[in-house]
Structures are given as structure tokens and as C-alpha cells.
Structure 1
Amino acid sequence: MNHMAVEAPSFAPLSPEVLTLDAEAETARIAAWMREQVARRLRRRGAVVGLSGGIDSTVTAALAVRAFGPEKVLAVLMPEKDSDPESLRLGREVADWLGIESVVEDVEPILTASACYERRDEFIRRLVPEFGPGWGCKVAISGSLEGKGYTITYLVVQSPDGEVRRLRMPVDVYLGVVAATNMKQRARKQLEYFHADRLNYAVLGTPNRLEYDQGFFVKNGDGAADVKPIAHLYKSQVYQLAGSLGAPEEIRMRPPTTDTWSLAQTQEEFYFALPYREMDLCLYGLVNRLPAESVAAAIGLTAADVGRVWRDIEAKRRTTRYLHEPPLLVEPVLAEDAGTPRI
């Protein structure tokens, strides 16, 4: 009896183990680098970290303690009326765990004075005229894996009686709502720099590689920092460091959220096409030019799906490239300006 030979796949399936690192060694490497950069290059003597109760800010604060000692790290907790109360509680828990000083800065008065909520609600009322006190809202996306070739943005609102509506957002409404909401990150950052200036500390940013690569931050908001110690780490690697550092289990088990909108929202729902484990491997595959089939086999998607995720990543990179750009100069002024793009 003749048997047909089964042809082996022409690619090697990607293993999630490619993102496994020596967490203790990486912690020591980052801490030593931070000490060197903050002291010698920035001429600062400690660090300020905005603590959100999430995994990224927790790991960043823990790395700062390794680098400078708990007595030279200040945590700033900055709730506002749309914040999840759990964020403040967990932020305090992290500060207590690390033995660092923490201060609570209520951002709501700043946002109210600058009409953040009022401006946001004005744009929302273009779609939902009755939107007002007692309503909740968030922004969500869909379409990146549906074969459309583009992402659709929706406004989700919940009335005081619990009715939920999902409406497609015109571009002007989306831009207006996001512009107003971005004021939250910028208000928080000015408070971080107030404390950094009075203490002669450096401000630490908390983006992981997914966020930094795809522009998931606000320019001159959470994107502003003197040092970004985990920007080279994939999200799953940040979790590895959290486990090695002994971060509280409740922090490690908490789903990544934006904590920006009055309705609960995950980062996947707002920005990323997939949960972080799958996104990590998709980004790794793209960066390392692996076959789509190799990545697909690792995360349970088709090669076509992986291709769509890659196109979404590239689109986000193009759209948010300006977030990484320094101010443009007609010509260099200082020696270090030589590499600055020209207008």
C-alpha cells in the first residue's frame, strides 16, 4: 500500500519562550543603567513615578527602588472623577509594599478648571444630545481582524438607567473627545514634574514596548519623561519582572486598563487588536521578520489574521510617528541638535 508523504511545514512555529528572559539579571541591568543615567547625565538624585495601580507603573517604581533606594523614590497618585477607585487603593498598596513615600494629587479641580469634562461632553452630545450627569462613556475599536482593512471607532455610552448605546464616531467627534480626554494625562504630568523639580528628581515614564512602538501615549502627557526604563520590554516580559520582584498578586492579576473613561475599558478594547500575549508575539514576529505562518501557529490565528495585525501595527506606527519627534528646528542651535529633523 502506498502512503502519500506528508510535507513538513516550511516554517518553524514561533514559541512564546522567545520572550522569556532572566528577570533578575535584567532587573540588575536596568537598575544599574538608571543609576548611571540619572546621576551622571541628568544630574538628578532620585525618581518620581506616577503610580496607577497597573503593572507597568508598579514595575517601574520597583526598578527605581532597586536603582536609588526607597528613600529617593516618590510615588504620585493622581485620581480624578472618572478613575476606578481601585486604582488609588492599588497604588497605595504598591507604595506600601515598596516602602516609598507617596502623595495623592486630585486632578479633578485642574481638569474642571480647564473644561476637560465640559469639552469632552460637548463633542459627545453631537451624537447623543441627552448625554450629561449620570451618564458613562468610553471609546472602543473594532474591525482590525474582521478583514475590513481598517479600524472602526465607536462611542459607547451608558444612560443613568443602564441603557448602553454603541455609535460609530465621525472623525471630528473622535478627535474632539480624544483631545479633551488627553488633558488628563497632561495634567498628571505637570504634577509629576512639580514634585520632580522641587526634589531635583527625574520623572520616570512607564510605557512598555507595545505602547512605545505603537504610540499608545499622549504627547506631552504620559509620553513625557526623563527616563523610560521598560520601553524595550514586551508586556509579557514586564510581567516576568513583576513576578521576580515580588509585586503583589492582585496587581499582577489585574487586566491592563486605560483608566481614563467613566466606563470600564481594557487596552485591547481601546487600542490594541489582541490581548497583550498575542500582541507581543505578533510584534516580535514583525520586528524579526518571521513568516506570518510561524506567528499564526503560536497564537492560534490564521496567517491572514497575522498579516492584518501587522498592517494595523504599521498603520499605528505611521499615524503616531510625530509623537516621538522632537520640536523641529530650521537649523541646529546646539551641538546635540545636529540630528534633529529640519522643517
Structure 2
Amino acid sequence: MKLTSAALEMDFSEVKTRIVRFIKEYVDNAGAKGIVLGLSGGVDSATTAALCSQAIGGQNVLALLLPEKETFKQQDIDDANTIAEQFQLQTQLCDMTQALDGIYKGIPTFNPADRLCKGNIKARTRMIFLYYYANQQTRIVCGTSDKSETMMGYFTKWGDAAADIAPIIDLYKTQVRKLALHLGIPKELALKPSTPALWPNQLAESELEIKYETLDLILFGLERFMTPQEIAEQLAIDQAIVERVKTRWLANEHKRRLPLPPKLGFRTVGNDFRLPKHTY
């Protein structure tokens, strides 16, 4: 197997068809009245929103814009509104500032200098807003996580990863960008630098310390049981880089699973007690 950009090529027309069918089937089986998702103006949420619109109609998709004062950027709001208009989504602007301030004040040991813990509160507060609207309006929550960041554990547990479905979670970031272009999302949004927006000036590639073009090929190789040495040789990079990616991928497995139960009964929830698809 050759690790080149060609290895990540897909028939994006077929990809779109399969994801759209998946979304529609899930909503129908759930008996939901629609979908709610967070729309940040980034490529992952824009692509997911576009797919949801094509699956059930934009009028049935509620996009929440969830700014807060510390990371507010008008350009992100404008980008989100561009996607909402293009794909005829319903939108609701929810300023999280007051809710966040209340949470900060309510935690006796809250430390504003601990930006990771503070940032995770923001991600989990977004989840609260999404599920409130889902409960209130009989919608399902659609996640916007991609495969690159999910494998790297680059998300908040029970925060941005909390959702009922995750339509693009089996696509690497570079594949999501190509799908976005295929869907007609403006190039400047499809190629916009990714950020979780948990603190000012946060950029995903800076924190991951690697470009997605390289990261995706490393992950692609690991997914196919290639050794770090084989991957490093093919990509002409230091093996230590591959080892670092592999270590982070494995160390974050707990973030990708339901809480681990001990095996006590005949069938165990989340382990070997799974219901068939038609009983969603």
C-alpha cells in the first residue's frame, strides 16, 4: 500500500448519497421532527449541516450558533450564516456568556487560569444547549466530529462528542474538506483553519503539532495495521512523529467508548447487549 494523497481519494458523490441516506433513515426510525446541530462556521459543522439539509430538508434542521464573549469572532457568525442561507437552515443564536459565567461562579474551586478545564466546560455547555433544543422540539442531535480528531482524542468527552448520530466521523479531515467542496460549500470555508474555539486564537494544527495532510496519512496507515516504521519510511518523516500519533490515538480510546462495565450478567449493555437497527 502506498501512502499518498491518492490513498484518501473517494467517490464523494457516493459518499454523499450514503450519508444522506443514513441521516434520513435514522431520523425516520427515531420518529423525530428534525435535527439540531451546532454551526460554528468551520468545515466540519458546515459539511454536516449541508448533508442534513439534503437528507431531510433545511426547514427541518435547526442550527445553533453558540458564541461566547471570550472567543467571539464576527467572521465565524458570518460564515455560519452563509451556510445557513445556502442550505436553507433554521437558525437560533444562543449567546452562552451568561450561562458560562453562572457555571464558573458556581464551582467552588474554579480556576480561570486553567484553560483546559475552562475550555471543556464550554464544550459541555454547548452540548447542554443542543440537547435542550432536541428535547424541547423532538429533534435528534447531530454530531460534527471527523475521523482525524476522533482518533486523536482531540475533543471533549461528553462535550462536542456527545450526539445521537455522527455522519462524518468515518471521514478524515482532508476527506471532509473535499466533500465540502463537492457539496458546493465556498472554498474559503472548506479550507478554513480548524479550531475548537475553546480559548482565543486556538488552532487545531498548532495543538496537534502536525498538518492534517500528514496526520491523515499516518492514521490511514495505522488503521490498516501498518507499522510506524513502514509509515515513516513511506512518508519520509521521523518515526518518532508516527509513534507520537499512535501513542495519542491509543491513549484516548476511553474517550471513544461508553463507560466500561464489569461483565456480570448474561448480556451486558454496551458490550454484547445491542439491539438491531430497526429498533432505534
In 1, Cα distance between equivalents of 2:116 and 2:106 = 11
- Residue number in structure 1 paired with 2:101: 112
Per the alignment, do residues 33 and 237 of structure 1 end up closer, same or farther by CA in structure 2, a change over 3 Å counting?
same
Is the 2:153–2:249 Cα contact (8 Å) retained in structure 1?
A: no
- Residue number in structure 2 paired with 1:275: 211
> Which of 190, 193, 200 pairs up with 1:252?
190
Deviation string 1:130-151 (CA, Å, 9 cap, x unpaired) is xxxxxxxxxxxxxxxxxxxxxx
Question: Could you tell me how far 1:337 is from its partner in structure 2?
Answer: 5.5
Deviation string 1:222-271 (CA, Å, 9 cap, x unpaired) is 11101011111111111111010000222112111121112x1211222x
- Residue number in structure 1 paired with 2:150: 212
CA RMSD of aligned residues (A): 2.6
In 2, Cα distance between equivalents of 1:306 and 1:275 = 13
Question: Could you tell me how far 1:187 is from its partner in structure 2?
Answer: 1.3
2:67 matched to 1:79?
yes
**Aligned with 2:67: secondary structure?**
coil
1:109-188 equivalence runs, <5 A: 109-115=98-104, 122=111, 124=113, 176-188=114-126
**Aligned with 1:106: secondary structure?**
coil
Q: Which runs of 4+ in 1 moved over 6 A?
A: 116-121
In 1, Cα distance between equivalents of 2:263 and 2:251 = 28
- Residue number in structure 2 paired with 1:196: 134
In 2, Cα distance between equivalents of 1:330 and 1:309 = 31
Q: Percent identity?
A: 30
Is the 1:119–1:180 Cα contact (8 Å) retained in structure 2?
A: no
> Which of 28, 33, 37 pairs up with 1:45?
33
- Residue number in structure 1 paired with 2:278: none
Is the 2:39–2:65 Cα contact (8 Å) retained in structure 1?
A: yes
- Unaligned runs of 5+ residues in structure 1 are 1-11, 125-175
Per the alignment, do residues 183 and 334 of structure 1 end up closer, same or farther by CA in structure 2, a change over 3 Å counting?
farther
Per the alignment, do residues 245 and 273 of structure 1 end up closer, same or farther by CA in structure 2, a change over 3 Å counting?
same
1:34 maps to amino acid:
I
Per the alignment, do residues 191 and 16 of structure 1 end up closer, same or farther by CA in structure 2, a change over 3 Å counting?
same
Name whichever structure is richer in strand by fraction. Answer: 1
Is the 1:90–1:251 Cα contact (8 Å) retained in structure 2?
A: yes
**Aligned with 1:47: secondary structure?**
strand
Question: Could you tell me how far 1:45 is from its partner in structure 2?
Answer: 2.8
Per the alignment, do residues 279 and 119 of structure 1 end up closer, same or farther by CA in structure 2, a change over 3 Å counting?
farther
1:209 maps to amino acid:
K
- Residue number in structure 1 paired with 2:258: 325
In 2, Cα distance between equivalents of 1:119 and 1:234 = 40
TM-score, normalising length: structure 2: 0.87
Question: Could you tell me how far 1:287 is from its partner in structure 2?
Answer: 1.3
**Aligned with 1:290: secondary structure?**
coil
1:32 maps to amino acid:
R
**Aligned with 1:229: secondary structure?**
coil
1:325 maps to amino acid:
L
**Aligned with 1:186: secondary structure?**
helix
Question: Could you tell me how far 1:282 is from its partner in structure 2?
Answer: 0.5
Per the alignment, do residues 117 and 104 of structure 1 end up closer, same or farther by CA in structure 2, a change over 3 Å counting?
farther
Per the alignment, do residues 338 and 297 of structure 1 end up closer, same or farther by CA in structure 2, a change over 3 Å counting?
closer
- Residue number in structure 2 paired with 1:339: 272
Structure with bigger gyration radius: 1
- Residue number in structure 2 paired with 1:242: 180
Is the 1:116–1:183 Cα contact (8 Å) retained in structure 2?
A: no
Question: Could you tell me how far 1:332 is from its partner in structure 2?
Answer: 5.8
- Residue number in structure 2 paired with 1:221: 159
- Unaligned runs of 5+ residues in structure 2 are 274-280
- Residue number in structure 2 paired with 1:68: 56
In 2, Cα distance between equivalents of 1:237 and 1:28 = 15
